Structure 1
Amino acid sequence: MGTLGYLTEVEVGHIEEAIEQIVSGDFVLEKRMMLEGTFENGKSDVSLNDIVVSRKGELHIIHFRVYVNGELLNDYEADGVVISTPTGSTAYNLSAGGPIVEPTASLIAITPICAHGLNVRSIILSSEDEIVIEIGPGRNGSKEQVYVAFDGADTVVLKTGDQVTVRRAKAYTTMMKLSKVSFLETLRRKMKGN
């Protein structure tokens, strides 16, 4: 997982106070959805923030298709795509121009990375939807190779014709909420630079 913490619960200077809150039981537990990515060989992994398909090696766009529940959504030419949970919406998804989502919501965001097209935007889907990303050919019809990363780690290499299926994981993460400050207030402060 990352270290930036756009919506981090505890600031560095308040760690001792946070420990006191935990010891005294002054916290609320929140369940957060996770994503599972499954490959054609049956192997899978889970992520709290995002599953990212991105180019490997040379600086060039990759070609890929995205299917939702078996129906073609779009053919993309981009540096890659971020499939994000609400918790991950303020991570790579945000940097790629995706929406900020309330962290306990139940949905999946698809955000192309530096897409080659004027009308390519993020798409918000139900957490019940199944997303398949199929890797297209490389430049001049050559074999393409891409990375699939789970929360920025645990990368897998896919080639032209390979697919990864992304869906809501059965597992979830439980987060400890210490602050009485709402998500919107925290977001407002961060957007103002406070």
Structure 2
Amino acid sequence: MTSRAIGNTVGTSQLRYNSRPGRWVLAAAVMGSGMAMLDGTVVNVALRTIGRDFDASLSQLQWISNGYLLSLASLILLGGSLGDHFGRRRVFVVGVIWFALASLACGIAWNAEALMAARVLQGVGAALLTPGSLAMIQVSFHPADRARAIGAWSGLGGIAAAIGPFVGGYLVEFASWRWVFLLNL
């Protein structure tokens, strides 16, 4: 995988869907955006336990859930623009690291306010990595394979969002609500 294959220049897209480098680029894009999609749904089933542990109000629980989605939705266009300006791969990697660090902050949060702030920061990381993952696919794959790669990215991202409540329920039941966030590490 070269920087040329996932850089800013359209027309350098030569990776084939079934090639080893193509599978690696697709796997990285799916894993990155899949984390962001999973986190949109995995937390909801843990809210009752989080509320009990932190003695959190309903308003605080709403912010724990919606702070992530609000920051993601409001900054996703900026994330795409930053990728166009500074390089898609670079912004994607920054987003993944940011998201992972914010996930760690969520997992070790000591009160509801700290968790709310960490969730907003997690959404910022997701806003950086999500458009970068799709843009990497767009510029990396040969035009004949691009639709197939985007379809796989989109479908697997949807699956990640769909399994979120099941994963969250399992982790809350058999481990701790903190693992809902630490799962991203």
Q: TM-score range by the shorter chain?
A: under 0.3
Larger RCO of the pair (alpha carbons < 8 Å, separation 6+): 2
TM-score norm. by structure 1 comes to 0.24
Where is the helix percentage greater, Structure 1 or Structure 2? 2
Where is the strand percentage greater, Structure 1 or Structure 2? 1
